[in-house]
Every structure is written in C-alpha cells, then in structure tokens.
Amino acid sequence: MSAYPSSIVCCVEDMRQLARRRVPRMFYDYADSGSWTESTYRANEEDLQKIKLRQRVAVDMTNRSLHTTMAGIPTSMPVAIAPTGLTGMQYADGEILAARAAEKFGIPFTLSTMSICSIEDVAAYTSSPFWFQLYVMRDRAFVENLIERAKAAKCSALMITLDLQILGQRHKDVRNAMTAPPRLTARNLADLVTKPKWCWNMLHTERRTFRNIVGHAKGVSDLSSLGAWTAEQFDPRLDWAAIEWIKNRWGGKVILKGVLDPEDARLAANCGVDAIVVSNHGGRQLDGALSSINALPPIVEAVGKDVEVWMDGGVRSGQDVLKAVALGARGVLIGRAFLYGLGAQGEAGVTKVLQMIAKEMDITMALCGRRRIDEIDAGILVPGTYPTPTHRV
C-alpha cells in the first residue's frame, strides 16, 4: 500500500493502489489479473521494463508534439482506450465516464461488447464517434444486430477481438464467484461494507448488468455471469471467412485485435483491415504466450507497410508507449491503466491517467533527443536491450 496520501497521485501505480482500496475485490481482481499462473500477465510489464532508453543531450527540445493518427483518425497522442469488459463495475457508469474523458483528451475510446453501459448509453453522453469492439457469437442474428446498433450510434470503427472464443483459465474470477451485479453473499457483503462510495454510486445508476446483451439477445432477460454467457454463445468456429463476412456487413474501418503470430498477422493484413493489434488479451487468455512487446517486432516486419500495427499489454506509462512506438507500433491501447484511474477517481481519474501518460511521453521524448512522435524509432533505445524480428529478449 502506498505511504502517500490519496491526494498525491504521481503515476499509474498510485492509481492502482487507490483503485484496489475503492473497488470491490471481485471487480478489482477481474481487471488486475491474468490466466492460470499469470506468467504472461507479468511478462507484459517486465519485458517492457527490460528495454532501456538512450539519453541524448545538447539537442533542441522545443516545439514538441505527440499528435498523430490511428487508422486515419487524428489523436492527441498515439494512445486509444482499449475495450474492457465490466468497466461500469469499476465505477458506476464507467464506460460513459471513460468515453467522456477520452473525448475531451482527443483520443479514441473503444466500447466492449461485454460493457455495462450499452452502445446507446455511451452515444447519448458523447458527441465524438467512438469505436465498438465485437465478440463473435454463435447467434449471427445477434451479431448483425450489434453491428447495426453500432452503425446507428455512428461508431467510426469496428474492432473484432480474435483471441477470446474460448475463455482463459482465470483463477481469481472462479475464487471470487464473479458476477455482475455481485451476488450478495456474506463474503461479498463484508467486502462491500468497506466500499461505501462505490455502493452509493452504484445505487444511483440503473446500469448494473450487460446492457449490450440483456434485452437484445434472444431468450436473455438476465445474466448471472460473464463465464456463463461465454460458455453458451462465444463462437469457437470463428475463422477468416467469418471475419470477411463481418467486414462486409460493417462496411467501415475494421481493426483486428489479438494477433501474436507473424503468420496470423499476414493473414489479417490480407483481409484488407485498417489495423491489427498485437495483443495477448492482457495475459488473460493463453498463459505462457509471448509478451506483447516481444511479439511486436516480428509482426511489424511481417506486414511491413501493408497495415497499421498497434499494441496493447503491460503499458503503464508514457515511456512504455514510446518503447512500443520505437519498435514499430503506430499506436498503443491502454486497458488496466485507465481502469485504475476510473476505479480510483471516476472520470477525473481517467483524465489524470491520460495526463500522466502524455507528460511522461513528452518528457521522455525530449530527453531522448526527439521532438515529434513521428520521429520516434529504435534509435531512442539502447541496442541489445530490446527485441528484434530475429532476437526476442
């Protein structure tokens, strides 16, 4: 636990400590955990920390800019909010609050299929187009309906997640008997008593279950848990033909998330998508898989300039973002980092996290002798400390 008062928040780790105290255990653990032994979850952060930066001196550091584009969309920095399930259980109306913070900051927000606030909820409280993340279900009529609802909400891109057709082995969720809303067991009640602000906020919202699904999926009037729905409906037959069908049905920008292998990256690029996200689902799926940062360089080499390559996983600072950009990522998605801010301080916490990441990126870029984000390459890294297409640290 941090020794500093909660009013002093200097980094994402400070936000994590605050969120841990303020969010009910089952939902904090849902966000801050990996599958099985959590080795890949840990590797995502640890492998980023192994990469060292080259400090440069006696260079002009004025007129710096982090502005860029992701899939042709202008952004204030090469960062977007990743889709995260149950965001509205970290803090009441969490998806709406995070979307508003992202909109004000000038970066894209991605809404998960497994969100608490619905597509329509977020559209009603934001004015800038957001992205929608799609899980492919067995019920194709439901998938079509999700796509049409995202179109009606004027979502500017569709992100298809490829690596969660079978749920990873997540021990903390099993031990916590995680549900949304939480079951009022003696253990849960004892925990909720210590989270009065969370309870007060949750009592004053009607958004407490999976509103993209309840009332929209055939025969579903209530959901007891994410796991039950996943076991019943997530389609393990998802293949490239299904992705092509979705792409044609959508008709707009498409992003494929969950690529870790260069061969899969080439197949994704051949689909004619706008971007692919190098991702191991935050270490929540295949435990023992490569960290995202180690998987990034071979994938960048494999697809060349055919498609934009982004990354997520283990990003906790602006320095982490710069390291990914230096190794070829056009942009980076942040998940846990914004969730910590949300759980700690609501919308203001998400804004604070974005401010910290931008400041860290700006200062680090300057100290590495660069002024513009489009000037960042492997030249800002110490040779031998970072993975290459043929050498994974």
Residue 386, annotated as binding a ligand:
no
Residue 49, annotated as binding a ligand:
no
Residue 20, annotated as binding a ligand:
no
Q: Residue 80 and residue 65: Cα distance in Å, rounded? A: 17
Whether the CB-CB separation of 111 and 82 falls below 8 Å is answered with no
Residue 112, annotated as binding a ligand:
yes
Residue 161, annotated as binding a ligand:
yes
Whether the CB-CB separation of 306 and 300 falls below 8 Å is answered with no
Q: Between vectors from CA 64 to CA 60 and to CA 69, what angle results, nearest 5°?
A: 140
Q: Residue 228 and residue 179: Cα distance in Å, rounded? A: 10
Residue 315, annotated as binding a ligand:
yes
The SS3 assignment for 381 reads strand
Largest CA distance in the chain: 67
Residue 113, annotated as binding a ligand:
no
Residue 310 β-bridge partners: 277, 331
SS (H, E, C) 244-293: HHHHHHHCCEEEEEEECCHHHHHHHHHCCCCEEEECCHHHCCCCCCCCHH
Catalytic residue among 67, 171, 204, 281: 281
DSSP string, 305-318: TSSEEEEESS--SH
Told to judge if 281 belongs to the known catalytic residues of this protein, a careful annotator would answer yes
Residue 216, annotated as binding a ligand:
no
Residue 41, annotated as binding a ligand:
no
Residue 16, annotated as binding a ligand:
no
Q: Residue 188 and residue 313: Cα distance in Å, rounded? A: 29
Residue 170, annotated as binding a ligand:
yes
Residue 133, annotated as binding a ligand:
yes
Residue 314, annotated as binding a ligand:
yes
Torsion angle, alpha carbons of 12, 17, 22, 27, to 10: 80
Q: Residue 29 and residue 35: Cα distance in Å, rounded? A: 11
List all residues 6 or more positions away from 103 whose beta carbon is below 8 Å from its beta carbon: 109, 126, 127, 128, 130
**For 332, phi and psi rounded to 5 degrees?**
-135, 140
Residue 284, annotated as binding a ligand:
yes
Residue 288, annotated as binding a ligand:
no
Residue 336, annotated as binding a ligand:
yes
**For 199, phi and psi rounded to 5 degrees?**
-65, -45
Residue 209, annotated as binding a ligand:
no
Residues at the binding site for glyoxylate are: 30, 135, 170, 281, 284
Catalytic residues: 281
Residues at the binding site for FMN are: 83-85, 112, 133, 161, 257, 279, 312-316, 335-336
Residues at the binding site are: 30, 83-85, 112, 133, 135, 161, 170, 257, 279, 281, 284, 312-316, 335-336
